[in-house]
A and B are shown apart, each in its own frame.
Chain A
Amino acid sequence: MVGGTADVRLGAACVVAAALTGCSGRGTPELAGDLGGALLPAAVARPDFTLTTVGGESFDFRTRTAGRLTLLFFGYTHCPDVCPATMANLGAVLRGLSTTERALIDAVFVTTDPERDSPAVLGPWLAHFEPNLIGLVGSAEALREAQIAAGVGVAARQDTPGGGYAVSHAAQVLVYSPDDSAHLSYPFGTRQAQWAVDLPKLLERWKGPVR
Protein backbone atom coordinates (compact mmCIF):
# COMPACT_ATOMS: atom_id res chain seq x y z
CA MET A 1 0.00 0.00 0.00
CA VAL A 2 1.18 3.51 -0.66
CA GLY A 3 -0.39 6.37 1.23
CA GLY A 4 -3.01 5.69 3.82
CA THR A 5 -6.35 7.38 3.30
CA ALA A 6 -8.15 4.07 3.09
CA ASP A 7 -8.04 3.26 6.79
CA VAL A 8 -9.31 6.71 7.71
CA ARG A 9 -12.22 6.40 5.35
CA LEU A 10 -13.12 2.89 6.40
CA GLY A 11 -14.97 3.82 9.57
CA ALA A 12 -17.14 6.37 7.84
CA ALA A 13 -17.75 4.06 4.92
CA CYS A 14 -18.78 1.26 7.25
CA VAL A 15 -21.29 3.44 9.04
CA VAL A 16 -22.73 4.66 5.74
CA ALA A 17 -22.88 1.17 4.30
CA ALA A 18 -24.51 -0.19 7.42
CA ALA A 19 -27.08 2.57 7.37
CA LEU A 20 -27.83 1.96 3.69
CA THR A 21 -28.21 -1.76 4.05
CA GLY A 22 -29.81 -1.79 7.43
CA CYS A 23 -27.74 -4.78 8.40
CA SER A 24 -26.48 -3.81 11.78
CA GLY A 25 -29.16 -5.38 13.86
CA ARG A 26 -29.62 -8.55 11.84
CA GLY A 27 -28.54 -11.63 13.78
CA THR A 28 -25.31 -10.14 15.05
CA PRO A 29 -23.18 -12.95 16.44
CA GLU A 30 -21.70 -12.70 19.86
CA LEU A 31 -18.42 -10.85 19.81
CA ALA A 32 -15.91 -11.52 22.53
CA GLY A 33 -13.12 -9.14 23.31
CA ASP A 34 -10.37 -11.73 22.94
CA LEU A 35 -9.99 -11.45 19.18
CA GLY A 36 -7.15 -9.51 17.62
CA GLY A 37 -9.26 -7.83 14.99
CA ALA A 38 -10.74 -4.37 15.29
CA LEU A 39 -14.45 -4.25 15.92
CA LEU A 40 -16.15 -2.22 13.20
CA PRO A 41 -18.28 0.68 14.44
CA ALA A 42 -21.26 -0.95 12.77
CA ALA A 43 -21.75 -4.19 10.95
CA VAL A 44 -21.28 -4.01 7.18
CA ALA A 45 -23.42 -6.17 4.93
CA ARG A 46 -21.70 -8.80 2.82
CA PRO A 47 -21.15 -6.80 -0.37
CA ASP A 48 -22.92 -7.55 -3.58
CA PHE A 49 -20.55 -7.58 -6.53
CA THR A 50 -19.71 -9.93 -9.34
CA LEU A 51 -16.17 -10.33 -10.65
CA THR A 52 -14.21 -13.03 -12.48
CA THR A 53 -12.04 -15.70 -10.86
CA VAL A 54 -8.50 -16.36 -12.10
CA GLY A 55 -9.98 -19.49 -13.64
CA GLY A 56 -12.26 -17.36 -15.82
CA GLU A 57 -15.63 -18.07 -14.19
CA SER A 58 -18.05 -15.47 -12.95
CA PHE A 59 -18.05 -15.03 -9.17
CA ASP A 60 -21.00 -13.46 -7.40
CA PHE A 61 -19.41 -12.65 -4.07
CA ARG A 62 -22.57 -12.37 -2.00
CA THR A 63 -24.14 -15.56 -3.35
CA ARG A 64 -21.00 -17.68 -3.49
CA THR A 65 -19.83 -16.84 0.02
CA ALA A 66 -23.26 -16.53 1.67
CA GLY A 67 -23.43 -17.87 5.21
CA ARG A 68 -19.74 -18.70 5.35
CA LEU A 69 -16.79 -17.28 7.26
CA THR A 70 -15.17 -15.11 4.59
CA LEU A 71 -11.94 -13.10 4.58
CA LEU A 72 -11.84 -10.31 2.01
CA PHE A 73 -8.75 -8.35 1.04
CA PHE A 74 -8.14 -5.80 -1.69
CA GLY A 75 -4.61 -5.52 -3.08
CA TYR A 76 -2.38 -6.04 -6.08
CA THR A 77 0.47 -8.29 -7.09
CA HIS A 78 3.00 -5.49 -7.68
CA CYS A 79 2.42 -4.23 -4.13
CA PRO A 80 5.86 -4.00 -2.53
CA ASP A 81 4.91 -4.26 1.12
CA VAL A 82 1.39 -4.73 2.54
CA CYS A 83 -0.07 -7.29 0.12
CA PRO A 84 2.72 -9.88 0.08
CA ALA A 85 3.16 -9.62 3.85
CA THR A 86 -0.59 -9.94 4.49
CA MET A 87 -1.07 -12.81 2.07
CA ALA A 88 2.07 -14.61 3.28
CA ASN A 89 0.84 -14.45 6.87
CA LEU A 90 -2.71 -15.39 6.06
CA GLY A 91 -1.61 -18.10 3.64
CA ALA A 92 0.78 -19.66 6.16
CA VAL A 93 -1.97 -19.94 8.76
CA LEU A 94 -4.59 -21.20 6.31
CA ARG A 95 -2.14 -23.88 5.18
CA GLY A 96 -1.76 -24.93 8.79
CA LEU A 97 -5.50 -25.52 9.28
CA SER A 98 -6.97 -28.97 8.99
CA THR A 99 -8.75 -29.81 5.73
CA THR A 100 -12.07 -29.66 7.56
CA GLU A 101 -11.34 -26.24 9.04
CA ARG A 102 -10.01 -24.91 5.75
CA ALA A 103 -13.16 -26.01 3.94
CA LEU A 104 -15.17 -23.72 6.20
CA ILE A 105 -13.36 -20.54 5.18
CA ASP A 106 -13.42 -18.49 1.97
CA ALA A 107 -10.35 -16.27 1.59
CA VAL A 108 -10.86 -13.83 -1.26
CA PHE A 109 -8.30 -11.50 -2.81
CA VAL A 110 -9.66 -8.80 -5.12
CA THR A 111 -7.16 -7.00 -7.28
CA THR A 112 -7.02 -3.23 -7.31
CA ASP A 113 -4.72 -3.16 -10.34
CA PRO A 114 -6.74 -4.36 -13.34
CA GLU A 115 -4.05 -3.28 -15.80
CA ARG A 116 -1.31 -5.57 -14.53
CA ASP A 117 -3.18 -8.24 -12.58
CA SER A 118 -4.45 -10.52 -15.30
CA PRO A 119 -5.69 -13.97 -14.25
CA ALA A 120 -2.40 -15.39 -15.52
CA VAL A 121 -0.48 -13.10 -13.17
CA LEU A 122 -2.76 -13.19 -10.14
CA GLY A 123 -3.37 -16.95 -10.12
CA PRO A 124 0.21 -18.14 -9.61
CA TRP A 125 0.95 -15.22 -7.28
CA LEU A 126 -1.86 -16.27 -4.94
CA ALA A 127 -1.12 -19.98 -5.28
CA HIS A 128 2.38 -19.25 -4.01
CA PHE A 129 0.83 -18.26 -0.67
CA GLU A 130 -1.97 -20.81 -0.48
CA PRO A 131 -3.51 -22.88 -3.27
CA ASN A 132 -7.13 -22.35 -2.26
CA LEU A 133 -7.16 -18.57 -2.14
CA ILE A 134 -9.84 -17.11 -4.40
CA GLY A 135 -8.45 -14.43 -6.72
CA LEU A 136 -10.85 -12.05 -8.43
CA VAL A 137 -10.22 -9.73 -11.37
CA GLY A 138 -12.45 -7.42 -13.34
CA SER A 139 -12.71 -4.15 -15.18
CA ALA A 140 -11.61 -0.96 -13.46
CA GLU A 141 -15.23 0.05 -13.04
CA ALA A 142 -16.31 -3.32 -11.64
CA LEU A 143 -13.43 -3.29 -9.16
CA ARG A 144 -14.30 0.22 -8.10
CA GLU A 145 -17.89 -0.85 -7.50
CA ALA A 146 -16.71 -3.84 -5.49
CA GLN A 147 -14.63 -1.64 -3.19
CA ILE A 148 -17.51 0.77 -2.68
CA ALA A 149 -19.82 -2.16 -1.95
CA ALA A 150 -17.36 -3.50 0.62
CA GLY A 151 -17.13 -0.11 2.27
CA VAL A 152 -13.41 0.32 1.83
CA GLY A 153 -11.61 3.28 0.35
CA VAL A 154 -11.39 3.06 -3.42
CA ALA A 155 -7.84 2.35 -4.58
CA ALA A 156 -6.01 5.10 -6.41
CA ARG A 157 -3.16 4.87 -8.85
CA GLN A 158 -0.05 6.88 -8.01
CA ASP A 159 2.70 7.41 -10.55
CA THR A 160 6.20 6.61 -9.36
CA PRO A 161 9.57 7.84 -10.65
CA GLY A 162 10.74 5.82 -13.62
CA GLY A 163 7.40 5.61 -15.32
CA GLY A 164 5.79 2.97 -13.12
CA TYR A 165 2.96 3.30 -10.70
CA ALA A 166 1.83 2.11 -7.30
CA VAL A 167 -1.71 1.64 -6.07
CA SER A 168 -2.93 3.11 -2.81
CA HIS A 169 -5.51 0.72 -1.41
CA ALA A 170 -7.24 -0.45 1.75
CA ALA A 171 -4.89 -2.52 3.88
CA GLN A 172 -7.27 -4.36 6.18
CA VAL A 173 -8.75 -7.84 5.92
CA LEU A 174 -12.53 -7.77 6.34
CA VAL A 175 -14.10 -10.75 8.08
CA TYR A 176 -17.67 -11.70 7.17
CA SER A 177 -19.58 -14.01 9.45
CA PRO A 178 -22.43 -16.37 8.61
CA ASP A 179 -24.93 -13.59 9.35
CA ASP A 180 -23.60 -12.11 6.10
CA SER A 181 -22.12 -9.08 7.79
CA ALA A 182 -18.61 -7.93 8.63
CA HIS A 183 -18.12 -7.07 12.27
CA LEU A 184 -14.34 -7.24 12.38
CA SER A 185 -11.40 -6.13 10.33
CA TYR A 186 -7.78 -7.08 10.78
CA PRO A 187 -5.34 -4.23 10.08
CA PHE A 188 -2.01 -4.57 8.33
CA GLY A 189 0.48 -5.84 10.86
CA THR A 190 -1.66 -8.72 12.09
CA ARG A 191 0.85 -11.46 12.79
CA GLN A 192 0.65 -15.11 11.91
CA ALA A 193 0.46 -16.04 15.56
CA GLN A 194 -2.61 -13.80 15.91
CA TRP A 195 -4.32 -15.31 12.86
CA ALA A 196 -3.51 -18.77 14.16
CA VAL A 197 -5.25 -17.99 17.42
CA ASP A 198 -8.19 -16.11 15.92
CA LEU A 199 -9.18 -18.21 12.90
CA PRO A 200 -10.16 -21.26 14.98
CA LYS A 201 -12.06 -18.98 17.36
CA LEU A 202 -13.86 -17.33 14.46
CA LEU A 203 -14.68 -20.74 13.07
CA GLU A 204 -15.96 -21.92 16.39
CA ARG A 205 -18.29 -18.96 16.72
CA TRP A 206 -19.23 -18.34 13.13
CA LYS A 207 -19.01 -21.72 11.51
CA GLY A 208 -20.97 -21.82 8.28
CA PRO A 209 -21.77 -24.57 5.80
CA VAL A 210 -18.97 -26.82 4.53
CA ARG A 211 -18.23 -26.48 0.84
Chain B
Amino acid sequence: MTWWCSATGVPWVWAWRPYPGVWLFLAVLGFLFYRFGRSGPESARHFGLGLFLLWIALDYPLGALGGYLAAAHTGQFMLIALAAPPLLLLGLRPRIAEWGSSLSGGQGRWLRFLAHPGPAFIGYNLIMLVTHVPLVVDGLMTSQVGSFAIDFLWLLSGCLLYWPVVAPAPFWRIGPPVQMGYLFVQTIPATLPAAFLVFSSYPLYSLYELAPRVTAALTPRYDHQVAGLMMKTVGDPVVWVTMAVIFFHWANRERREDLARVSGAARPTTG
Protein backbone atom coordinates (compact mmCIF):
# COMPACT_ATOMS: atom_id res chain seq x y z
CA MET B 1 0.00 0.00 0.00
CA THR B 2 1.43 3.38 -1.00
CA TRP B 3 0.40 5.79 1.74
CA TRP B 4 3.01 8.52 1.23
CA CYS B 5 4.74 9.79 -1.92
CA SER B 6 8.29 8.52 -2.35
CA ALA B 7 10.68 7.59 -5.14
CA THR B 8 9.66 4.22 -6.53
CA GLY B 9 11.73 3.87 -9.71
CA VAL B 10 8.56 2.89 -11.54
CA PRO B 11 8.20 4.68 -14.91
CA TRP B 12 6.19 7.87 -14.57
CA VAL B 13 2.64 7.97 -15.92
CA TRP B 14 0.18 10.83 -15.67
CA ALA B 15 -2.42 8.80 -13.82
CA TRP B 16 -3.93 9.82 -10.50
CA ARG B 17 -3.13 7.62 -7.54
CA PRO B 18 -4.27 7.91 -3.93
CA TYR B 19 -1.98 8.69 -1.01
CA PRO B 20 -4.14 8.04 2.07
CA GLY B 21 -1.30 8.90 4.45
CA VAL B 22 -1.31 12.46 3.13
CA TRP B 23 -5.05 12.79 3.61
CA LEU B 24 -4.84 11.32 7.11
CA PHE B 25 -1.98 13.67 8.05
CA LEU B 26 -3.90 16.72 6.83
CA ALA B 27 -7.10 15.51 8.47
CA VAL B 28 -5.30 15.11 11.80
CA LEU B 29 -3.85 18.65 11.52
CA GLY B 30 -7.30 19.98 10.59
CA PHE B 31 -8.98 18.15 13.46
CA LEU B 32 -6.40 19.34 15.99
CA PHE B 33 -6.88 22.90 14.77
CA TYR B 34 -10.68 22.62 14.92
CA ARG B 35 -10.57 21.06 18.36
CA PHE B 36 -7.85 23.14 20.03
CA GLY B 37 -6.59 25.96 17.82
CA ARG B 38 -9.63 27.55 16.17
CA SER B 39 -10.26 31.17 17.01
CA GLY B 40 -12.62 32.97 14.67
CA PRO B 41 -13.06 32.98 10.90
CA GLU B 42 -9.79 34.75 10.07
CA SER B 43 -7.69 32.21 11.91
CA ALA B 44 -9.64 29.41 10.17
CA ARG B 45 -9.00 31.04 6.79
CA HIS B 46 -5.27 31.28 7.46
CA PHE B 47 -4.98 27.74 8.74
CA GLY B 48 -7.18 26.39 5.93
CA LEU B 49 -5.01 28.07 3.29
CA GLY B 50 -1.90 26.64 4.96
CA LEU B 51 -3.43 23.16 4.87
CA PHE B 52 -4.37 23.65 1.21
CA LEU B 53 -0.76 24.50 0.32
CA LEU B 54 0.43 21.45 2.24
CA TRP B 55 -2.04 19.31 0.31
CA ILE B 56 -0.78 20.68 -3.01
CA ALA B 57 2.79 19.89 -1.96
CA LEU B 58 2.21 16.40 -0.61
CA ASP B 59 -0.47 14.82 -2.79
CA TYR B 60 -0.54 13.80 -6.46
CA PRO B 61 0.85 15.10 -8.77
CA LEU B 62 3.50 17.30 -7.11
CA GLY B 63 4.15 14.90 -4.25
CA ALA B 64 4.55 11.98 -6.65
CA LEU B 65 6.75 13.99 -9.02
CA GLY B 66 8.99 14.74 -6.05
CA GLY B 67 10.28 11.19 -6.42
CA TYR B 68 11.28 11.79 -10.05
CA LEU B 69 12.41 15.38 -10.43
CA ALA B 70 14.67 17.51 -8.25
CA ALA B 71 12.69 20.54 -9.45
CA ALA B 72 9.43 19.06 -8.12
CA HIS B 73 11.19 18.16 -4.86
CA THR B 74 12.25 21.80 -4.55
CA GLY B 75 8.72 22.94 -5.30
CA GLN B 76 7.55 20.76 -2.43
CA PHE B 77 10.19 22.28 -0.16
CA MET B 78 9.05 25.80 -0.94
CA LEU B 79 5.42 25.02 -0.24
CA ILE B 80 6.03 22.92 2.87
CA ALA B 81 8.82 24.94 4.50
CA LEU B 82 8.31 28.46 3.16
CA ALA B 83 4.68 29.04 2.15
CA ALA B 84 2.47 26.94 4.43
CA PRO B 85 4.07 27.47 7.89
CA PRO B 86 3.39 31.22 8.25
CA LEU B 87 -0.25 30.63 7.38
CA LEU B 88 -0.58 27.71 9.79
CA LEU B 89 1.07 29.76 12.54
CA LEU B 90 -1.13 32.79 11.79
CA GLY B 91 -4.14 30.51 12.13
CA LEU B 92 -2.94 29.35 15.52
CA ARG B 93 -1.65 32.74 16.66
CA PRO B 94 -4.74 34.02 18.49
CA ARG B 95 -5.16 30.81 20.42
CA ILE B 96 -1.45 30.63 21.25
CA ALA B 97 -1.71 34.20 22.51
CA GLU B 98 -4.58 33.10 24.79
CA TRP B 99 -2.55 30.11 25.95
CA GLY B 100 0.40 32.36 26.61
CA SER B 101 -0.59 33.19 30.15
CA SER B 102 -1.77 29.69 31.02
CA LEU B 103 1.16 27.70 29.61
CA SER B 104 3.41 25.99 32.11
CA GLY B 105 6.78 27.57 32.73
CA GLY B 106 8.66 24.99 30.66
CA GLN B 107 6.45 25.23 27.57
CA GLY B 108 6.36 29.01 27.72
CA ARG B 109 10.13 29.20 28.08
CA TRP B 110 10.58 26.99 25.00
CA LEU B 111 8.24 29.10 22.87
CA ARG B 112 9.98 32.27 24.04
CA PHE B 113 13.39 30.73 23.39
CA LEU B 114 12.40 29.67 19.86
CA ALA B 115 11.02 33.14 19.13
CA HIS B 116 14.57 34.44 19.41
CA PRO B 117 16.22 34.81 15.96
CA GLY B 118 19.32 32.83 16.95
CA PRO B 119 17.79 29.43 17.69
CA ALA B 120 15.31 29.87 14.85
CA PHE B 121 18.11 30.66 12.39
CA ILE B 122 20.18 27.67 13.46
CA GLY B 123 17.19 25.30 13.63
CA TYR B 124 15.78 26.17 10.20
CA ASN B 125 19.09 26.20 8.37
CA LEU B 126 20.37 23.04 10.00
CA ILE B 127 17.30 21.14 8.83
CA MET B 128 17.31 22.84 5.42
CA LEU B 129 20.97 22.03 4.79
CA VAL B 130 20.91 18.48 6.15
CA THR B 131 17.79 17.55 4.17
CA HIS B 132 19.52 18.69 0.99
CA VAL B 133 22.67 16.62 1.47
CA PRO B 134 22.78 14.07 -1.41
CA LEU B 135 23.38 11.14 0.93
CA VAL B 136 20.31 12.06 2.97
CA VAL B 137 18.04 12.69 -0.02
CA ASP B 138 19.17 9.55 -1.88
CA GLY B 139 18.84 7.50 1.29
CA LEU B 140 15.51 8.73 2.61
CA MET B 141 13.47 9.54 -0.48
CA THR B 142 13.29 5.92 -1.64
CA SER B 143 11.12 4.86 1.29
CA GLN B 144 7.74 6.19 2.32
CA VAL B 145 8.84 6.59 5.95
CA GLY B 146 12.00 8.42 4.86
CA SER B 147 10.06 10.67 2.51
CA PHE B 148 7.55 11.42 5.27
CA ALA B 149 10.45 12.25 7.61
CA ILE B 150 11.84 14.79 5.14
CA ASP B 151 8.42 16.39 4.61
CA PHE B 152 7.78 16.53 8.35
CA LEU B 153 11.22 18.04 9.04
CA TRP B 154 10.58 20.68 6.38
CA LEU B 155 7.29 21.63 8.02
CA LEU B 156 9.01 21.80 11.39
CA SER B 157 11.83 23.91 9.94
CA GLY B 158 9.30 26.30 8.39
CA CYS B 159 7.60 26.73 11.77
CA LEU B 160 11.00 27.49 13.33
CA LEU B 161 11.75 29.96 10.54
CA TYR B 162 8.55 31.97 10.97
CA TRP B 163 7.95 31.68 14.71
CA PRO B 164 10.08 34.75 15.57
CA VAL B 165 7.94 36.89 13.24
CA VAL B 166 4.52 35.35 13.93
CA ALA B 167 4.83 34.74 17.67
CA PRO B 168 2.13 36.61 19.61
CA ALA B 169 2.83 39.15 22.34
CA PRO B 170 3.68 36.81 25.24
CA PHE B 171 6.53 35.30 23.22
CA TRP B 172 7.41 38.26 21.06
CA ARG B 173 11.14 39.03 21.04
CA ILE B 174 11.96 41.26 18.07
CA GLY B 175 10.30 44.28 16.45
CA PRO B 176 9.23 44.58 12.79
CA PRO B 177 12.46 46.08 11.38
CA VAL B 178 14.54 43.32 12.97
CA GLN B 179 11.99 40.73 11.81
CA MET B 180 12.45 41.85 8.21
CA GLY B 181 16.22 41.79 8.57
CA TYR B 182 16.02 38.37 10.20
CA LEU B 183 13.95 36.96 7.31
CA PHE B 184 16.33 38.40 4.75
CA VAL B 185 19.31 36.81 6.49
CA GLN B 186 17.40 33.51 6.59
CA THR B 187 17.38 33.41 2.79
CA ILE B 188 21.18 33.55 2.54
CA PRO B 189 22.21 29.99 3.59
CA ALA B 190 19.89 28.44 0.97
CA THR B 191 22.23 29.96 -1.60
CA LEU B 192 24.68 27.16 -0.78
CA PRO B 193 22.59 24.15 -1.92
CA ALA B 194 21.13 26.28 -4.73
CA ALA B 195 24.61 27.09 -6.02
CA PHE B 196 25.66 23.45 -5.86
CA LEU B 197 22.56 22.46 -7.82
CA VAL B 198 23.10 25.09 -10.50
CA PHE B 199 26.85 25.06 -10.91
CA SER B 200 27.81 21.46 -10.19
CA SER B 201 29.29 19.79 -13.26
CA TYR B 202 27.19 16.67 -12.77
CA PRO B 203 23.91 15.90 -11.01
CA LEU B 204 24.21 15.80 -7.23
CA TYR B 205 21.43 13.37 -6.45
CA SER B 206 21.71 9.86 -7.88
CA LEU B 207 18.00 9.47 -7.16
CA TYR B 208 17.07 12.16 -9.66
CA GLU B 209 19.92 11.36 -12.03
CA LEU B 210 18.79 7.76 -12.52
CA ALA B 211 15.04 8.15 -12.04
CA PRO B 212 12.80 7.31 -14.99
CA ARG B 213 12.41 10.52 -16.97
CA VAL B 214 9.11 12.38 -16.75
CA THR B 215 9.88 14.25 -19.95
CA ALA B 216 12.79 13.80 -22.31
CA ALA B 217 13.22 17.58 -22.44
CA LEU B 218 14.25 17.74 -18.79
CA THR B 219 17.54 15.88 -18.54
CA PRO B 220 18.96 15.21 -15.05
CA ARG B 221 21.38 18.12 -15.42
CA TYR B 222 18.69 20.64 -16.44
CA ASP B 223 16.41 19.30 -13.74
CA HIS B 224 19.05 19.99 -11.09
CA GLN B 225 19.70 23.46 -12.48
CA VAL B 226 15.99 24.30 -12.50
CA ALA B 227 15.77 23.11 -8.89
CA GLY B 228 18.66 25.34 -7.85
CA LEU B 229 17.27 28.35 -9.66
CA MET B 230 13.84 27.79 -8.12
CA MET B 231 15.32 27.85 -4.63
CA LYS B 232 16.51 31.40 -5.17
CA THR B 233 14.13 32.88 -7.74
CA VAL B 234 10.93 31.46 -6.25
CA GLY B 235 11.89 30.51 -2.70
CA ASP B 236 13.36 33.87 -1.74
CA PRO B 237 10.40 35.90 -3.07
CA VAL B 238 8.07 33.75 -0.94
CA VAL B 239 9.98 35.00 2.11
CA TRP B 240 10.04 38.54 0.69
CA VAL B 241 6.24 38.49 0.54
CA THR B 242 6.22 37.85 4.29
CA MET B 243 8.69 40.71 4.72
CA ALA B 244 6.40 42.97 2.70
CA VAL B 245 3.40 41.99 4.80
CA ILE B 246 5.37 42.79 7.99
CA PHE B 247 6.49 46.11 6.54
CA PHE B 248 3.00 47.26 5.54
CA HIS B 249 1.48 46.15 8.84
CA TRP B 250 4.20 48.03 10.68
CA ALA B 251 3.84 51.13 8.48
CA ASN B 252 0.07 51.16 8.91
CA ARG B 253 0.37 50.82 12.66
CA GLU B 254 2.91 53.62 12.84
CA ARG B 255 0.69 55.85 10.71
CA ARG B 256 -2.33 55.17 12.89
CA GLU B 257 -0.31 55.97 15.99
CA ASP B 258 1.00 59.17 14.43
CA LEU B 259 -2.51 60.21 13.47
CA ALA B 260 -3.74 59.47 16.96
CA ARG B 261 -0.89 61.55 18.43
CA VAL B 262 -1.53 64.43 16.07
CA SER B 263 -5.27 64.44 16.67
CA GLY B 264 -4.65 64.21 20.44
CA ALA B 265 -2.28 67.19 20.34
CA ALA B 266 -4.67 69.25 18.21
CA ARG B 267 -7.61 68.66 20.56
CA PRO B 268 -8.37 71.92 22.45
CA THR B 269 -7.79 71.73 26.13
CA THR B 270 -10.33 73.06 28.57
CA GLY B 271 -10.22 74.13 32.17
**Measuring CB to CB, which residues of chain A are less than 8 angstroms from any residue of chain B?**
80-81, 84-85, 88-89, 92-93, 96, 125, 128-129, 188-189, 191-193, 196
Contact = CB atoms under 8 A, between A and B. Distances in A.
Contacts of A85: 209-213, 220
Contacts of A129: 219
Contact of A92 (B9, B11, B12, B221): B221
Nearest to B215: A84
Chain B contact residues, majority secondary structure = loop
Contacts of A88: 213, 219-220
A96 B200 CA distance: 13
B219 A81 contact: no
Nearest to A81: B212
B202 A191 contact: yes
Contacts of B213: 80, 84-85, 88
Interface residues of B, number: 16
B201 A89 contact: no
Q: Which 9 pairs show the lowest CB-CB distances between chains A and B?
A: A80-B11, A81-B212, A192-B202, A193-B202, A84-B213, A88-B219, A85-B210, A80-B212, A81-B11
Given A89-B210, A92-B219, A191-B203, 11 more contacts: A84-B212, A84-B213, A85-B211, A85-B220, A89-B209, A93-B202, A96-B201, A189-B206, A191-B209, A193-B201, A196-B202
B216 interface: yes
A29 B202 CA distance: 29
Contacts of A188: 210
Interface of B: 9, 11-12, 201-203, 206, 209-213, 216, 219-221
Contacts of B219: 88, 92, 129
B105 to A, nearest CB: 53
B217 to A, nearest CB: 8
Nearest to B200: A193
A80 B14 CA distance: 13
A92 B202 contact: yes
Contacts of B221: 92, 192
A84 B213 CA distance: 7
Given A81-B9, A88-B219, A89-B220, A189 B202 contact: no
A93 B201 CA distance: 10
Nearest to B219: A88
B265 to A, nearest CB: 70
A189 B210 contact: yes
B216 A128 contact: yes
21 contacts: A80-B12, A81-B9, A81-B11, A84-B216, A85-B211, A85-B213, A89-B210, A92-B202, A92-B220, A129-B219, A188-B210, A189-B210, A191-B202, A191-B203, A191-B209, A191-B210, A192-B203, A192-B209, A192-B220, A193-B201, A196-B201
